Structure 1
Amino acid sequence: MEKLFAYASLKNEDHQKDLFGRILAGTPETLVGYILKEIEIEEEFGLAQYPIITETHKPEDTISGIVYEVTKQELHQVDLYEGVHYKRVEVQLQSSQKAWAYSAAF
């Protein structure tokens, strides 16, 4: 199993049902040394704002989220869901466990 740190839409149960066919069980967790920013993505009906993690290396900067265990296949599904604007990066969480998270691809 793979660990996935979710901080935005992947925490949404409707998104989880659509993406995985199930609701994920997760554990609250904190990402240290990052802040949330927004990126603009052009969509069918114009520009939309989406949150994105940005590394600062400052211990006072934190993001609250949830860690889920997913299969490698499910992680691949998330890669496709996040699209070209996001890339998967490995992060270390406050609990010292490592997980995958999605950051800006540029």
Structure 2
Amino acid sequence: MPLLFSYGTLRDPAVQRANFGRELGGRPDALPGYAIRMLEITDPEVLAVSGETQHPIVVATGDDADTVPGMVFDVTEEDLIAADGYEVDDYHRVLLPMASGAQAWVYVSVPG
């Protein structure tokens, strides 16, 4: 089963219910080598679900001392497709190693 790491709005039970039709089961983990920045969200559908105009986004720093805390969720391939539809174009999904050693999908800042 795929893993999805969330450090932002996908941890919110209301966002999970709106996107996946249920609340996800997860456990704490962390993403090394990344730092959180804030991103202004203008997509009306995302704003309606999250209720937040500022969402966190992670950027690679290359420094393993930088760590982003969050949750790793067990998801299905269908859940990943639903999450792809929720995230705006500033994010893209990549498979990354977690502090626990697990590999999880993470939405990170689009390079550029």
Q: Same fold (TM over 0.5)?
A: yes
1:9 maps to 9
Q: CA deviation at 1:43?
A: 4.2
Query: Is 2:72 the partner of 1:67?
Result: yes
2:90 maps to 85
**C-alpha RMSD of the superposition:** 1.6
- Do the aligned residues in 1 keep the contact of 2:7 with 2:70 (CA within 8 Å)? yes
Number of residues of Structure 1 aligned to a counterpart in Structure 2: 104
In structure 1, runs of 5+ residues without a counterpart are none
Q: Which amino acid in the other structure matches residue 5 of structure 1?
A: F
2:25 maps to 25
In structure 2, runs of 5+ residues without a counterpart are 48-52
Q: CA deviation at 1:95?
A: 1.0
* TM-score calculated relative to the size of structure 2: 0.85
* TM-score calculated relative to the size of structure 1: 0.89
- Structure 1 consecutive aligned stretches of length 4 or more whose deviation exceeds 3 Å: 41-45
Q: Which amino acid in the other structure matches residue 27 of structure 1?
A: R
Q: d(CA) in 1 for partners of 2:23 and 2:31?
A: 22
